[in-house]
Structure 1
């Protein structure tokens, strides 16, 4: 997750665009320049539309509208019956009137007995026993009173939480030191990454973490993990640490999550390439094939220029735990068993974790492909049918994927005690597909395997076997002509009709008339315009993002084709309805850069979260509640940019009853991650990196911090001048009802 239009200090390596393939785009159009304030910046043709402890936080509201009840509701409930939250730049967390938000777990909080309270002054250490930083995707795993798995428990549970990356300026007394980095700082930063399993328990109606729980577990950037699936023991995974290519260390940049039908956590490794340093001239020590692969994954070098690393961990000393971050060829072996030239190939997967067993083996499931993984959403389990897992590659101009299991679903596996073994059954064998979106609202799933001649005979990169395809899924997608999309991030499956929703966050490289590596608009990514932020900041491309909706043909998870439309276009309400605000959003609904997307299993509400840099002169990032319809409920929109038009199937425009702003976070934040108690009465969301654009040079002056949340709301050390912290927030409804009603 990142903000390519307005990058924070810690996210400069996230704006990746390494897809230089010539894969097709549907509707070619000419350049459109449009201010989101609604002013047309050039002479263009017209477009036609046919068609959630201890501290309570702020509550406020705007207009109030009743919604049309949509199943599954309970008697006397009205979905989206709350008062919409207004846009705000306030450094607080805002929920509707009648709701309370409470911080329950923040960066640095102790997770184990004997760990000291967090001082929040840059002197804290031992993050392998504390909450990590930048809370992201999250899942709820119920526990019975006896400590057994209980999927319907509303009073005791485990939260599986991703810690995506770090805000280094706040982790150290004076911010991060210059390179070479001190070993102590690097140790903190590596440990701040990864995943946390933390027990929560309800007392007097409110949840709090259980510090002494035997279930608590911290997985960091140094934790040993097993490699499974088709890439296990592959030559491209051989390292000094694992000469057999069967193990690696650490999981980093964990973003979205998934919850398997058998009760395990899936965590996606997203923007991991920038963690590795590669020396100038390293290309001369590698094969042409290897250099193609490294360039495609964002680590190209020249004879004069190196690929610098994001945090400089490789500069902290000669110990193996630091040397592993330098992926340059340094040894003399032919296979890479005496250095870390292949270390990068151990990152970029979906990792499976059994949250109920703190000593369980962690597994990277390579069959699901290697790219900038976000969430992993499962199709509705049906006995006797395979499972489909839907995924996106979060980088500009990357692809949408699905994995179809070879094994068919058995309901007995839902309660199996050896959950990792069940994962072996479903996640190590199957078929990986990439999506091609056709301009007529249809699409195809194209298999990525050596049985596809387009892959086995690809001239740009010589694939050797299916393990190679799994490790280099992006290149395989290039080979088969997959559709370049506008940063596919989270996805979710509608609990009733099984349709799949993919967020396309934004794309600063989308153009109507592209030059260089820019990408032309197409039917599934039809907008390219100029937006003016504030007084004079110009932003171009698909600035505000959109959400694509997919229906498998026949409702079958293993279908080879699908239909699609654009469910929602992000926009400011005052933007031109002809080119930008195509969904007709009002002031209570407008948003930019959809990122997280989760369907409530209780109410069916679709929760949409934003990670934005384009609209932040007007409002902090937010979360909206939606009651979506079904694919095909709208009409087509035709954008006429002068000499060329592009036509896109679009969902029905939302009403005040079907889309409404529910939450706005503190300053410089991202809203991400969501899970609920089974009864839908308690929601947990994450507020990531508040104040992350505070300059390192300003760390010594709290008056210059761009956020002080949640300290300024009374949580933890520091008070009104606290260093900001990422945190998990609990939201409850004051009358005890279900969230969003």
Structure 2
């Protein structure tokens, strides 16, 4: 996904739990041989589960299409026998109340009735009898699409963003004289467009008499959930009053509600038929004017851990986000004033110092009920959420939701419901969400170098037991504080710092969990570990170091139980350029399946294919981002591999783990996107014959308008016949086989 400009916020000076163990003369290879109880980490012995699985036979199924070649063309590239159409794109109207999109930046509406920008995670919800959710394909559905939307908003305005009456330049600049950022003033109409293109688009789609999918412009189900939509704050009953104290603002002094959702990246789909829009890199939208006084020490520590206003506070502000507080009416119009998170009031109820606390959650939406108020599910933790994938539901058993935190050196989490699954809850919407997502336990993952792992529960008792000294960095007042400041809690209990954990996915055949580690420029030889074993220099035309090409990790819960406290893991695939050499290209990728920076990840329920989508900056001199198909296998189906690291002249380190080379029969490149784009977001019809895929931010590197016209990096999809030509637009495409067959097999 398009990422936070400050990738690594895990800069705590607190001693990491690995260092505590190291003092006890335990080697990195033998750090933990036990699970976690309330008081001691060694109370539950772990088995060498990966070793027991290491000799399983690989999967025999093979892919049935010719791999497409790498491409830097400004177009969609698919295998022979496949074709695509564009379903909808940025700015397309979802109501007849407004005109068609001009693609000139001249729209005068506020974008609340248009498809948002930066199409990302998505899912399909079939409409059954009486308008209820059904998993059966009825040829009528609602497609729900996240809109991540970062800072390239200049295409929405005729001549780029406007500041102080001047268009076509950045809206802010750093002033050496004042030691801060001068925002100037911005037009209200521009800022409203930028706020409202964020969030989620909910659009009805139907299969016409020719079998082609189209979106319905005038449907009663169409709506936008955007940066201003009212939200309900929901969480555990025992801690709800404390949670609300973190959410108090001038908008709602009770802390019961908030407004809007931002930077919705990966997503989740619940067994009862609702959508989880995950709030990812929300932290950079806020601003403190020059001369603002420091917020209290705990708020400052919280903001620094999440990347909200990272610079010194007194007299100097951090980066000004999107400039949404730079509207002249912000003092009287809270639509704009809310992005200024200084503390001019006597209490939090008089200003917006707590506004950042209302973001960073999974937002539950009922796609088939336009009257349902979305809910922020605080029990699932607050961080840079990247997908929330549910375990395979088992009647009478709790559900687990697996979540990544999208930044370098962050963590993988699991939320386990208190309620057990009842299939009769399918279609019950937000009432079912309250039942399953408000009460439960939140865990963070620790990956041991021997292929085992433990889930550490995040609560005040464990934090005190495992790292009592962390109070000097951040002192937790109660369990609500843990849920709102989850990153701090995960660091305190010694979770494994991962190479940017992004999308997760569940293998429907065996329930195993997969996560993409997109990349990590701060990984060094000294801090490699079994789960993040590579630190190397990529010395081609786009020189990068650390783990620039990323990898995919997977794990199996002990006994296959959602409630398990232990798991076995291995590395499924390493991204690499095919000519990178054996020390880097550990998965033996070839010209037909090499890739870099895996990001989106999704399993087909119909075929079992694991679809891998990339968001890359390390290989784009050779190829645009892509979509690959993989036959997954199972944890432990490979063999031991030893990684020898040598970065920047540092001494090499050795890490051994279970991995496998799939070969071209089980891993092939299926699609390459247009220039500057990220390939992200994927879903399908239940027969596996129609694939929906999102193309995000084509032309991302187009510079902001200066003295002359835009110099477009991409002009897709207009250059392939969809809509007005000219400016690039994110879009959802629909892929089918020309013979009507199942995709991929």
Is TM more than 0.5 here? yes
CA positional deviation for 1:310? 2.1
CA positional deviation for 1:182? 1.4
Structure 1 residue runs of 5 or longer lacking an equivalent are 3-10, 30-50, 52-66, 71-78, 514-519
**In the superposition, relative to structure 1, how do residues 549 and 740 fare at CA in structure 2: closer, same or farther (>3 Å)?**
same
**Residue 538 of structure 2 is aligned to residue 525 of structure 1:** no
In the other structure, the counterpart of 2:33 is: none
In the other structure, the counterpart of 2:665 is: 657
In the other structure, the counterpart of 1:115 is: 98
In the other structure, the counterpart of 1:193 is: 198
In the other structure, the counterpart of 1:40 is: none
Larger mean CA deviation between 304-313 and 370-379 belongs to 304-313
**Within 2, Cα distance between the matches of 1:14 and 1:723?**
28
**Within 1, Cα distance between the matches of 2:195 and 2:707?**
21
CA contact (8 A) 2:149 2:198 kept: yes
**In the superposition, relative to structure 1, how do residues 145 and 382 fare at CA in structure 2: closer, same or farther (>3 Å)?**
closer
**In the superposition, relative to structure 1, how do residues 670 and 24 fare at CA in structure 2: closer, same or farther (>3 Å)?**
farther
**Within 1, Cα distance between the matches of 2:578 and 2:335?**
50
CA contact (8 A) 2:500 2:518 kept: yes
TM-score normalised according to structure 2 size: 0.87
**In the superposition, relative to structure 1, how do residues 648 and 248 fare at CA in structure 2: closer, same or farther (>3 Å)?**
farther
Structure-to-structure mapping, 1:17-36, within 5 angstroms: 17-20=9-12, 21-23=14-16
In the other structure, the counterpart of 1:365 is: 377
**Within 2, Cα distance between the matches of 1:183 and 1:618?**
41
**In the superposition, relative to structure 1, how do residues 14 and 596 fare at CA in structure 2: closer, same or farther (>3 Å)?**
farther
CA positional deviation for 1:656? 1.3
Structure-to-structure mapping, 1:605-616, within 5 angstroms: 605-616=609-620
**Within 2, Cα distance between the matches of 1:543 and 1:660?**
21
In the other structure, the counterpart of 1:404 is: 416
CA contact (8 A) 2:404 2:501 kept: yes
In the other structure, the counterpart of 1:511 is: 524
Out of 592, 607, 615, the position equivalent to 1:603 is 607
**Within 2, Cα distance between the matches of 1:448 and 1:476?**
6
CA contact (8 A) 2:28 2:449 kept: no
Name the Cα RMSD after superposition: 2.0
In the other structure, the counterpart of 1:392 is: 404
Structure-to-structure mapping, 1:260-659, within 5 angstroms: 260-279=270-289, 282=292, 285-299=294-308, 300-302=310-312, 303-317=314-328, 318=330, 319-333=333-347, 336-415=348-427, 418-452=428-462, 453-454=464-465, 457=468, 458-459=470-471, 460-513=473-526, 520-534=527-541, 537-578=542-583, 580-641=584-645, 645-659=653-667
In the other structure, the counterpart of 2:47 is: none
In the other structure, the counterpart of 1:5 is: none
CA contact (8 A) 2:536 2:645 kept: no
Structure 2 residue runs of 5 or longer lacking an equivalent are 30-53, 164-182
Deviations 1:257-299 (A, max 9, x none): 11000000001000001001134565x5433222211111112
**Within 1, Cα distance between the matches of 2:596 and 2:302?**
33
CA contact (8 A) 1:455 1:463 kept: no
CA positional deviation for 1:28? 7.2
**In the superposition, relative to structure 1, how do residues 468 and 281 fare at CA in structure 2: closer, same or farther (>3 Å)?**
farther
Q: Secondary structure at the match of 1:469?
A: helix
**Within 2, Cα distance between the matches of 1:641 and 1:729?**
40
CA positional deviation for 1:13? 2.8
**Within 2, Cα distance between the matches of 1:498 and 1:389?**
12
**In the superposition, relative to structure 1, how do residues 532 and 85 fare at CA in structure 2: closer, same or farther (>3 Å)?**
same
CA contact (8 A) 1:199 1:215 kept: yes
Q: Secondary structure at the match of 1:423?
A: helix
Deviations 1:153-177 (A, max 9, x none): 1511110100111531211111112
In the other structure, the counterpart of 1:141 is: 125
**Within 1, Cα distance between the matches of 2:138 and 2:580?**
43
Q: Larger relative CO (CA 8 A, sep 6+): 1 or 2?
A: 1
CA contact (8 A) 1:456 1:462 kept: no
CA positional deviation for 1:145? 7.0
CA contact (8 A) 1:568 1:650 kept: no
CA contact (8 A) 2:295 2:342 kept: no
CA contact (8 A) 2:525 2:653 kept: no
CA positional deviation for 1:461? 1.3
Q: Secondary structure at the match of 1:397?
A: coil
Q: Secondary structure at the match of 1:261?
A: coil
CA positional deviation for 1:531? 1.4
In the other structure, the counterpart of 1:151 is: 135
**Within 1, Cα distance between the matches of 2:224 and 2:708?**
30
CA positional deviation for 1:432? 0.2
Larger mean CA deviation between 299-308 and 617-626 belongs to 299-308
**Residue 85 of structure 2 is aligned to residue 93 of structure 1:** no
CA contact (8 A) 2:127 2:140 kept: yes
**In the superposition, relative to structure 1, how do residues 402 and 394 fare at CA in structure 2: closer, same or farther (>3 Å)?**
same
CA contact (8 A) 1:103 1:730 kept: yes
CA positional deviation for 1:646? 2.6
Q: Secondary structure at the match of 2:617?
A: coil
In the other structure, the counterpart of 1:13 is: 5
CA contact (8 A) 1:112 1:129 kept: yes
CA positional deviation for 1:237? 1.1
TM-score normalised according to structure 1 size: 0.88
In the other structure, the counterpart of 1:225 is: 231
**Within 1, Cα distance between the matches of 2:122 and 2:448?**
33
Number of corresponding residues: 671
Larger mean CA deviation between 308-317 and 402-411 belongs to 308-317
**In the superposition, relative to structure 1, how do residues 309 and 531 fare at CA in structure 2: closer, same or farther (>3 Å)?**
same
Q: Secondary structure at the match of 2:705?
A: helix
CA positional deviation for 1:150? 2.6
**In the superposition, relative to structure 1, how do residues 235 and 12 fare at CA in structure 2: closer, same or farther (>3 Å)?**
closer
CA positional deviation for 1:243? 0.6
Q: Secondary structure at the match of 1:420?
A: helix
**Residue 250 of structure 2 is aligned to residue 246 of structure 1:** no
**Residue 187 of structure 2 is aligned to residue 173 of structure 1:** no
**Residue 726 of structure 2 is aligned to residue 714 of structure 1:** no
